[in-house]
Amino acid sequence: MSSVPVPTRRQVLALYKQFIKNSNQFNNYNFRQYFLRKSRSTFKESADLKDTVQVTNMFNEAKKELGILKRQAVISQMYTFDKTVVEPTLKLNHTQ
Amino acid sequence: MFRSLLRANVARSAMISQGPVRFYSPSNLSKTAISSRVIDVIKSFNKTDASSSNPTEITMESSFKKDLGLDSLDTVELIVAMEEEFSIEIPDKVADELTSVAQTVDYIKDHTDAS
């Protein structure tokens, strides 16, 4: 197991940044907010992990999930969704 | 007919001899403009102490961690918000070292072509 390098703090934060950036790509408000919340809670939960094996496992797991997130974000942009009421509809407000 | 082409060629060779030339305009945002926008981004970021019921004043000296009560994950989110606001890319190496409002403003002013 020792052959696998343990991810550094910077690597983990960089991965988190990728999660946030890709979550922001979602067109649909509900999906976008869900993935932002989900990324945050998952990273926060494992913030206290000390065991190097566990940290490495979580890191690799998260990398796989980032792949899924990226694909889904792209797919979500191929479809249009109606805006939910909580989203600001700036254009409408300006014209009326 | 080919005169303009010729001229372009001459111009190009002159350019090469002078070394690399920048054709994009440098960022013309003033420091005050950048700082007010940075502070606005922080204000609208709803996890800071400044957005709580008893808000802390955001100043240039405010530290993300100490004064605004952000943890490392919050800071990453804030940096992403800054990147979106100024349409820039802040490398991870730099982002790791940005810990206060003033540092962020200075970085945006000096190292990026923010818009």
**Tens digit of pLDDT at every position of chain A (96 positions):** 455 688 888 889 999 999 999 999 988 888 899 999 999 999 998 888 888 898 999 999 999 999 999 999 999 888 877 788 887 766 554 443
Residue A52 located in a structural domain: yes
Residue B77: inside a domain: yes
Interface-testing mutation among A8, A12, A13, with chain B (most B C-beta atoms within 10 A): A13
Question: What ipTM does this complex have?
Answer: 0.76
Q: Min CA distance, B65 vs chain A (Å)?
A: 15
- Integer Cα distance of B112 and B89 in angstroms: 8
CA angle B51, A16, A56 (to 5 degrees): 135
Counted domains in chain A: 1
User: Is B19 inside a domain boundary?
Assistant: no
Domain CATH code at residue B63: 1.10.1200.10
B21 located within any domain: no
Give the minimum alpha-carbon distance from A14 to chain B in angstroms, rounded to a whole number: 6
pLDDT in tens, B52-88: 666 677 888 888 888 888 888 888 999 999 888 888 8
Largest separation between any pair of C-alpha atoms in chain B = 72
In a domain, residue B41? The reply is yes
The residue segments making up the domain with residue B49 are 3-8+28-110
Residue B52 falls within a domain, yes or no? Answer: yes
Which of B40, B67, B71, B106 does the annotation list as catalytic?
A: B71
A16 vs B: CB within 8 A: yes
Residue A83 lies in a domain: no
Asked whether residue A92 is domain-assigned, the answer is no
Residue numbers in A near B84 (CB within 8 A): 24
Domain range enclosing A31: 9-76
Q: What is the number of domains present in chain B?
A: 1
The pLDDT tens digits of the residues spanning B8-50 come to 565 555 555 566 776 666 557 788 888 888 888 888 887 776 6
